[in-house]
Amino acid sequence: MVVLVWLAVAPAQSQDGESLDALVEKWLASPHGDYHSQSFTYWNKDGEVPVDCAACHSQTGFLDYLGADGSASGVVDHPAVINAPIGCASCHTSAAHALDSVSFPSGVTVDGLGSSAVCTVCHQGRLSGDDISTATGGIDEDEVSGDLAFMNVHYGVAAAVMRGSDVRGGYQYPGKTYAGTFAHVPNANTCVACHDPHTTQVETDGCISCHRGVEDPRDIRMRHTDFDGDGDNAGGIHAEILGLHGDLLAAIQSYAAEISDASIGYAPGTYPYFFQDSDGDGQIGDDEAAYPNRYQSWTPRLLKAAYNYQVVKKDPGGYVHNPAYMLQLLHDSLEDLSAQVDIDMTAYRRP
């Protein structure tokens, strides 16, 4: 049934003259068309995708959100069908073409999104730094509280990162200023300007044509400061972000052991990501990455740093989307932890 919908709405060929068959092949090879992805199969056991998840994890849910099915727009009214990846009908409908503004978890609505609007609906995360402020309010910064648990920004948060402080996707420390929407050059300033809309792959030729002398976009840098304090600024800005990211995890682990009195570790592929490091080796093994062993000795200070760590982790393209915002979140998280654990902040630089 879904395939019939695609054929009914997809154009015979793209503006570049690609055939429908070629476009479908591209889509089938993309994450949006992966029938086997957990993104579209997680709810198979339940027989439906719940309302809270449907907009981004089922084509019928996305059409419901858009109001393309005749329902009210901006809300999902019913659970969605399983095994329904995001297909042609998700974007090639009049409702999708008309979409121009999207609300973020912080409550901020961004207008004038144009072709990036449909991407922004799902690639913004489920939380904002405001949610962290609310959860930690009224609790002493270094008090372990049973009322706290790790709060996951969710996945694929590129749109929130691109908008930076304008939508407050990361936890922004009081008294600090943060980079707003990252304005790239006009011909590389939308989602589909850099990502093939059907494969979602980044078209790097445009990057290299402007940033001469590099073969990999990760080697690009327009800021030559040594932000991560390792004495090396020869690599791209991606390397600076990775350096700070690694230092932040080490600082989180030091704080947990010294202040929360319970060792912590991170497992990148297992929810809820932060677990008790039972053997104290700094790593989370398969036996430790189990929900009953989730980390539960959270303080407000620790939760804020862990949340920002996850924001950066869940946008691996952050070095392109908004590098200054990434660096600021990491730097300030380290600085805040340094109030309680020994972190030499003198070598770090904040953009």
Query: For the segment 13-46, what is each residue's pLDDT rounded down to a tens digit?
Result: 555 678 889 998 999 999 999 989 999 999 999 9
pLDDT for residue 10 is more than 80: no
C-alpha–C-alpha distance, residues 257 and 295, integer Å: 12
pLDDT for residue 1 is more than 80: no
How far is C-alpha 168 from the geometric centre of its chain's CA atoms? 13
pLDDT for residue 217 is more than 90: no
Which tokens in the block code for residue 271? Answer: 């929810």
Helix (H, G, I), strand (E, B) or coil at 103: strand
Residue 16 pLDDT: 62
Task: Decide if 214 contacts 208 (C-beta within 8 A).
Answer: yes
Q: For 322-335, give one letter per residue: b (16+ CB within 10 A) or e.
A: bbbbbbbbbbbbbb
Which tokens in the block code for residue 193? Answer: 């300007």
Nearest residue to 158 via CA among 15, 291, 319, 321: 321
**Beta partners for residue 49, in sequence order:** 80
* Mean pLDDT for the stretch of residues 61-86: 95
Task: Decide if 268 contacts 274 (C-beta within 8 A).
Answer: no
Nearest residue to 62 via CA among 2, 111, 10, 16: 2
Residue 146 pLDDT: 96
pLDDT for residue 155 is more than 50: yes
Q: Which residue has the higher pLDDT, 183 or 264?
A: 264
pLDDT bucket at 9, cuts 50 / 70 / 90: very low
C-alpha–C-alpha distance, residues 339 and 324, integer Å: 23
Residue 14 pLDDT: 54
Which tokens in the block code for residue 7? Answer: 């054929």
Dihedral sign, Cα of residue 309, residue 58, residue 92, residue 121? negative
C-alpha–C-alpha distance, residues 306 and 301, integer Å: 9
pLDDT for residue 8 is more than 80: no
* Mean pLDDT for the stretch of residues 264-284: 96
pLDDT bucket at 336, cuts 50 / 70 / 90: very high
* Mean pLDDT for the stretch of residues 225-238: 95
88: Cβ contacts below 8 Å, ≥ 6 apart: 5, 6, 9, 10, 24, 27
Alpha-helix runs per DSSP H in 42-91: 51-57, 59-66, 88-91
Which tokens in the block code for residue 152? Answer: 């996951």
Task: Decide if 284 contacts 267 (C-beta within 8 A).
Answer: yes
* Mean pLDDT for the stretch of residues 331-345: 98
Q: How large a percentage of the chain has pLDDT more than 90?
A: 83
pLDDT digits (tens, 9 = 90+) for 163-202: 999 999 999 999 999 999 998 888 888 998 999 999 999 8
Residue 187 pLDDT: 82
Residue 208 pLDDT: 81
Query: Cβ-count burial of 298 within 10 angstroms (0-12 exposed, 13-18 middle, 19+ buried)?
Result: buried
Task: Decide if 9 contacts 51 (C-beta within 8 A).
Answer: no
Dihedral sign, Cα of residue 276, residue 278, residue 283, residue 287? negative
- Give residue for tokens 């648990």: 149
pLDDT for residue 249 is more than 50: yes
Lowest mean pLDDT among 9-18, 266-275, 307-316: 9-18
Q: What is the mean pLDDT of the chain?
A: 93
pLDDT digits (tens, 9 = 90+) for 201-214: 988 887 888 888 88
pLDDT digits (tens, 9 = 90+) for 94-146: 999 999 999 999 999 999 999 999 999 999 999 999 999 999 999 999 999 99
C-alpha–C-alpha distance, residues 303 and 301, integer Å: 6
pLDDT for residue 68 is more than 60: yes
- Give residue for tokens 């589909």: 192
